[in-house]
Amino acid sequence: MSNCSIAYDLIYGGYTDWWFSCLGLVAAMFAAAIYSLFRLLPEKFSKAFARKRALLVAIVVSLIWSLVSFVETYSAYSNLSSAYGRGEYEQVAGVVEHFVSSGPGIQPGTVRFTVGKVAFSYSKYIMSPGYRGHPSAMSEGLNVRIRYIGKAIVRLEICSASTL
């Protein structure tokens, strides 16, 4: 155990998908700024250039999108971290084999590998809780200890060969 270093832990890493929900808030603020500018223009210009209702709809849709995306991503994180905290995970230790991070039949940003007889796959472009680190953190032949729940990696430790 002392010869392993923690590369990722769900609890210590926290909720990292907050930025995704903030995109909707940025869009809402942008639409609100444009709406405010059009309200300042003289009436004859604002009728010609502004579609006030469309801007109000954009503001409302952006806010709803932010709320829904936050609820979805945070609840997924919360459920996974609660299960992890209760110890409802499985663990596997061994050597990373069959490592693939690019090539035919695999989407960019997707990593696939096996440890023991357990197959893992993740993508840095898919919003999901758990480890979605950079492919360079993993490599063929690396000694690891992984805690996982379903398909989500909740803890990744890089170990020396003598530890396993």
Give 7-29 pLDDT, tens digit per residue: 899 998 888 888 888 888 898 89
From residue 151, alpha-carbon distances to 30, 54, 83, 130, 141 in Å are 37, 41, 13, 9, 21
Between CA 68 and CA 31, with CA 51 as vertex, the angle to 5 degrees is: 40
Handedness of CA 9, 26, 28, 109 (dihedral sign): negative
* pTM listed for this prediction: 0.78
In this structure, are residues 77 and 21 in contact, taking their beta carbons and an 8 Å threshold?
Answer: no
Report pLDDT digits (tens) over 38-64: 777 666 665 545 567 777 888 889 999
Q: Is the pLDDT of residue 71 over 90?
A: yes
Cα separation, 40 vs 44, in Å, equals 11
Give the lowest-confidence range in 40-44, 96-100, 109-113, 150-154.
Answer: 40-44
Q: Is the pLDDT of residue 162 over 70?
A: no
Strand, coil or helix: 91: strand
**Proportion of the chain above pLDDT 90, given as a percent:** 41
Closest CA to 38 of 47, 46, 29, 48: 46
Domain boundary assignment for the chain: 4-12+89-159, 15-85
Amino acid letter, 48 = A
Q: Report pLDDT for 1.
A: 46
Q: Report pLDDT for 15.
A: 87
Higher confidence at residue 152 or residue 162? Answer: 152
How many whole angstroms from its chain centre is CA 93? 24
Q: Report pLDDT for 163.
A: 59
- Beta strands across the sheet bearing 90-100: 4-9, 152-159, 143-149, 90-100, 110-115, 118-123
Confidence of residue 70 (pLDDT cuts 50, 70, 90): very high
132: number of Cβ within 10 Å = 20
